[in-house]
Amino acid sequence: MKLANQISVKHFKLRLIIASLVLLLLGSCASVMQSATNDMAANLSSAIMNQDDPETVRDGAPAYLLLLDSFIAGSPDNPAMLAAAAELYAAYGVIFVAEPERADRLTQRALTYGQQSLCASNKSACGIYDLNFQDFEVALAKLNKKDAASLYSFGLTSIAFIKVHSDDWGAMTKLPHVEAALKRVQALDPQYQAIQVEHFLAVLNTIRPPALGGDFEAGKAHFERALSLSNGKDLSINVDYARYYARTLYDRELHDQLLKSVMSAEPNQDGYTLFNTLAQREAQELLDAADDYF
């Protein structure tokens, strides 16, 4: 069972990071330090997403993961920093790590940071991951708009953890919790990561066949909304649409149409370049295997 979901910039970026750290160490105002650190995390995320060489991201990411760990050690109750680390660990563990034990460790750390971010944002959400579904929904109802970012990170890291632990029924039982969390993000702030939320909801509704609880009508609607919102810039949506929806329903025509559109598209799009590059690789693999699958 597969679910979808980063880093680089060599010497120049390293110099910027060192300079930023010096400024942080010399700063006398805690609020300024926190703001600068949060800005750096946002810039780092942007640099990752616009990288067109996934191998550079794979090789460079560990240094930045450690850097984020160090920031968290100094500011353990910063929701934004915890969320940034959670999302980066989740993406790295799912996309670039093949060894099961290592992927387990990385996605577990991602999930832990995701939970800590949500707890730091709203104390009523502390321990939410371990709640039964009914109590989980009660906890979600207590969240506010300011909690949307941390809730999104919690949902994303939950997906990453479930993906790596897809053979663990205990992890799989959390799928309804993740869907509820993402829908709550939409309710709290419809504009926050709207494309990604629709994309994840589409996948969550189509990773299981209809006979096992998959809602393919809802999944298709989420895929179509995600495509519309992204204006075709996020090619990973098409790939997952083909992988989870078209393949499961044995719709070869839709499958090939979606993947061929990925192969003919321009991958270099601001904010999507990394995942578009990976999407084109996946699209070609799925097309090459289509005759055997169908």
Q: Is 250 within a domain?
A: yes
- Here the tokens at position 220 are 């298709």
Give the count of domains, the chain: 2
**Count of CA atoms in the C-beta half-sphere (13 A) of 265:** 29
Q: Reduce the DSSP state of residue 28 to 3 states and report it.
A: coil
Q: For 84-137, what is each residue's pLDDT tens digit?
A: 899 989 989 998 998 999 999 999 999 999 999 999 999 999 999 999 999 999
- A 10 A CB-CB count for 138 gives 13
Can you give the pTM of this predicted structure?
A: 0.82
pLDDT at 63: 87
Looking up residue 232, the CATH number of its domain turns out to be: 1.25.40.920
- Same-domain pairing of 210 and 292: yes
pLDDT at 9: 33
Q: Are 91 and 5 in contact (CB under 8 A)?
A: yes
Q: Is 227 within a domain?
A: yes
pLDDT category of residue 213 using cuts at 50, 70 and 90: confident
- Same-domain pairing of 44 and 98: yes
Domain residue limits at 131: 1-166
Q: Are 235 and 241 in contact (CB under 8 A)?
A: no
CA triple 62-50-155, angle to 5 deg: 65
Distance CA 9, CA 7 (A): 7
**For residue 45, which of 16, 78, 6, 15 has the smallest C-alpha distance?**
6
- Same-domain pairing of 159 and 204: no
Q: For 240-255, what is each residue's pLDDT tens digit?
A: 999 999 999 999 999 9
pLDDT category of residue 61 using cuts at 50, 70 and 90: confident
Q: Is 92 within a domain?
A: yes
- Same-domain pairing of 8 and 153: yes
Q: Is 183 within a domain?
A: no
